């Protein structure tokens, strides 16, 4: 099968080429500099699997072109590309049928996540698609089960949620799950990365501004609070917010009202607030860099995400999940992993958490075409990972026989699945004799429906 086809329609060379560069390794990317050129490409070079459409074009209003594409090619999902100042049209685009929207300047991880999610949803039967089901929130560990249970319990509450955890643990995935599983799922989900916006602009980004409110304010702008009306506003890295903005945010949360910069008019907003940080906000309160009253206001429902090293039992499942996903994108068979290679993944500390593991698997599958991945194929840092010391392990991970059995079960079940239950082939994949495989299966209670006889025992 050929790679999915994506059409980028943008009249500016830089963002158009940026999108093409970001996506070209995984997808077939065509570009168009005008709305008419985009329509021509859709009609003559289609069908396309996804369209990335700029809001402002020289010959078309982006919303009008969106409506036309949705009418003439209803099976083709469209993602609107907007500047931050165009939040209100972005909300209108969602209501007109846009699958999602991206904001300039681009965040590479967000682009890849949004595109991959929409293409996966498009490949599924409609009845099976749930907006949060694509997220890589995978795990059977106690910590992750607790997170899943809490998400389900609070999904429809309007109480403010504070998600904490190290970088790369999946805080935005949790925020999206809370939104798309809630009664607000038809409303907008508006993420704001506080650390990425200059302090002097953050207030305007959140609350908007009136024309002439400050130098450079040449027109009225709608803020993120108004853009998220009826949905969810996600404030990522809220610990980086300056104190002056914190006081205004506190009032907005308490009163559900905002004022644009330069305006005396009060605007009521119906927004569910979800915040996230990788900082210790209690310590920030003590040292005076974060308001105590704001901390208590946003910490109504805390959600703590465990670091990946604290749930090592989930790593084999995550490795296989990412390997399968990237193998599909690269149009190759999903590789298998020797128990020794999987052990290295399990015992590496992953300071960047799940995001680092995901990127490691992506690089590995791009650079290594082996059908069976062993320690020799792994990056040096992972290949030389030592078994963590007792102080680094959770209490339930100190049972070495239990951990070894878990890894052996994962490897054996994977090999049996690949071999169709034929023990001889499975043993060859695992680099053991058939007799040893049968012994391990009996020891672990693994059964198979194979009709293969035991004459080789």
82-133 pLDDT per residue, tens: 775 555 666 677 767 788 777 777 777 778 878 887 887 666 433 333 333 3
- Beta-sheet pairing, 267-268 with 257-258: antiparallel
pLDDT reading at 62 higher than 50? yes
Q: What φ, ψ does residue 8 adopt, rounded to 5°? A: -105, 120
Residue written as tokens 């904490």? Answer: 164
What distance, in Å, lies between the first and last C-alpha atoms of the chain? 41
- Domains present along the chain, CATH in parentheses: 5-128 (3.40.50.2300), 142-304 (3.40.50.300), 311-444 (1.10.8.60)
Query: With bands split at pLDDT 50, 70 and 90, how would you rate the model's confidence at 451?
Result: very low
Percent of the chain residues topping a pLDDT of 70? 87
The per-residue pLDDT for 117 is 75
Q: 70, 42 in Cβ contact below 8 A?
A: no
- Residue 41 vs residue 46, higher pLDDT: 41
The per-residue pLDDT for 212 is 77
CA distance 93 to 78: 10
Average pLDDT for residues 298-305, to the nearest whole number?
95
Q: Which range is least confidently modeled, 75-79, 131-135, 276-280?
A: 131-135
Q: 203, 261 in Cβ contact below 8 A?
A: yes
Side-chain-facing half-sphere of 392: CA atoms under 13 Å: 14
- Residue 134 vs residue 435, higher pLDDT: 435
The per-residue pLDDT for 208 is 86
Q: 309, 349 in Cβ contact below 8 A?
A: yes
Query: With bands split at pLDDT 50, 70 and 90, how would you rate the model's confidence at 359?
Result: very high
Q: 164 pairs with which residues across the strands?
A: 277, 304
The per-residue pLDDT for 455 is 36
- Residue 280 vs residue 131, higher pLDDT: 280
Q: Which range is least confidently modeled, 117-131, 315-329, 333-347?
A: 117-131
Calculate the alpha carbon distances from 193 to 110, 172, 224, 266 in Å: 11, 10, 11, 25
pLDDT reading at 216 higher than 80? no
Other beta carbons within 10 angstroms of residue 408's beta carbon come to 18
The per-residue pLDDT for 121 is 64
CA distance 450 to 347: 34
CA 103 to chain centre: 16
Pick from 94-98, 176-180, 262-266, 398-402 the range whose average pLDDT is largest.
176-180
Across 313-378, the runs of DSSP E, i.e. the strands, are 336-337, 372-373
Q: 245, 232 in Cβ contact below 8 A?
A: no
The per-residue pLDDT for 219 is 73
The per-residue pLDDT for 130 is 36
SS3 425: helix
The per-residue pLDDT for 308 is 95
CA distance 243 to 249: 10
Question: Considering only CA atoms, which of 182, 82, 138, 113 is closest in space to residue 316?
Answer: 138
Q: How many residues does the chain have?
A: 457
Average pLDDT for residues 10-17, to the nearest whole number?
87
pLDDT reading at 388 higher than 70? no
CA distance 250 to 268: 15
Calculate the alpha carbon distances from 225 to 213, 260, 270, 348 in Å: 18, 10, 9, 41
Q: What φ, ψ does residue 56 adopt, rounded to 5°? A: -115, 115
- Residue 77 vs residue 436, higher pLDDT: 77
CA distance 68 to 333: 39
Q: Which long-range contacts link 81-85 to residues 24+ away (Cβ below 8 Å)?
A: 81/10, 81/15, 81/19, 81/52, 81/53, 81/54, 81/55, 82/54, 82/55, 83/55, 83/56, 84/205, 85/221
pLDDT reading at 449 higher than 60? no
pLDDT reading at 327 higher than 50? yes
SS3 76: coil
CA distance 54 to 14: 12
Asked if residue 346 has a cis previous peptide bond (ω within 30° of 0), the answer is no
pTM of the model: 0.58
Question: The tokens of 173 are what?
Answer: 């995935």
The per-residue pLDDT for 91 is 66
CA distance 284 to 291: 8
């Amino acid at each position: 099968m050929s790679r999915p086809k994506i059409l980028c329609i943008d009249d500016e060379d830089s963002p158009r080429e940026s999108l093409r560069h970001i996506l070209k390794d995984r997808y077939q990317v065509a570009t168009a500099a005008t709305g008419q050129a985009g329509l021509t490409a859709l009609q003559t070079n289609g069908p396309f699997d996804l369209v990335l459409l700029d809001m402002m074009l020289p010959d078309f209003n982006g919303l009008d072109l969106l409506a036309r594409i949705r009418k003439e090619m209803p099976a083709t999902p469209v993602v609107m590309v907007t500047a931050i100042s165009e939040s209100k049209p972005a909300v209108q685009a969602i209501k007109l049928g846009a699958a999602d929207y991206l904001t300039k300047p681009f965040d590479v991880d967000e682009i890849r996540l949004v595109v991959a999610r929409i293409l996966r949803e498009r490949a599924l039967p409609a009845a099976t698609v749930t907006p949060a089901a694509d997220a890589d929130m995978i795990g059977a560990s106690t910590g992750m089960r607790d997170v899943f249970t809490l998400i389900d319990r609070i999904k429809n509450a309007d109480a403010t949620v504070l998600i904490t955890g190290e970088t790369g643990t999946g805080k935005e995935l949790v925020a999206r799950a809370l939104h798309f599983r809630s009664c607000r799922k038809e409303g907008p989900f508006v993420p704001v990365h506080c650390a990425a916006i200059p302090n002097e602009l953050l207030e305007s980004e959140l609350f908007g501004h009136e024309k002439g409110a400050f130098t450079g304010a040449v027109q009225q702008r709608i803020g993120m609070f108004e853009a998220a009306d009826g949905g969810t506003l996600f404030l990522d890295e809220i610990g980086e917010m300056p104190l002056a903005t914190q006081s205004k945010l506190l009032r907005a949360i308490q009163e559900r009202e905002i004022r644009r910069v330069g305006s005396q008019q009060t605007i009521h907003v119906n927004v569910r607030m979800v915040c996230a940080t990788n900082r210790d906000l209690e310590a920030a309160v003590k040292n005076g860099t974060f308001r105590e009253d704001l901390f208590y206001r946003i910490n109504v429902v805390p959600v703590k995400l465990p670091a990946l090293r604290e749930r090592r039992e989930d790593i084999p499942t995550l490795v296989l999940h990412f390997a399968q996903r990237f193998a599909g994108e690269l149009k190759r068979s999903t590789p298998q992993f020797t128990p020794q290679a999987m052990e290295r993944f399990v015992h590496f500390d992953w300071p960047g958490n799940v995001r680092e593991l995901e990127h490691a698997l992506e690089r590995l599958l791009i650079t290594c075409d082996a059908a069976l991945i062993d320690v020799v194929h792994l990056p040096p840092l992972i290949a030389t990972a030592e078994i963590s010391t007792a102080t680094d392990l959770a209490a339930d991970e100190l049972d070495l026989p239990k951990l070894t059995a878990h890894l052996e079960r994962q490897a054996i079940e994977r090999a049996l699945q690949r071999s169709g239950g034929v023990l001889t082939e499975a043993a060859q994949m695992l680099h053991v004799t058939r007799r040893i495989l049968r012994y391990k299966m009996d020891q672990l209670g693994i059964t198979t429906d194979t009709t293969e006889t035991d004459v080789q025992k």
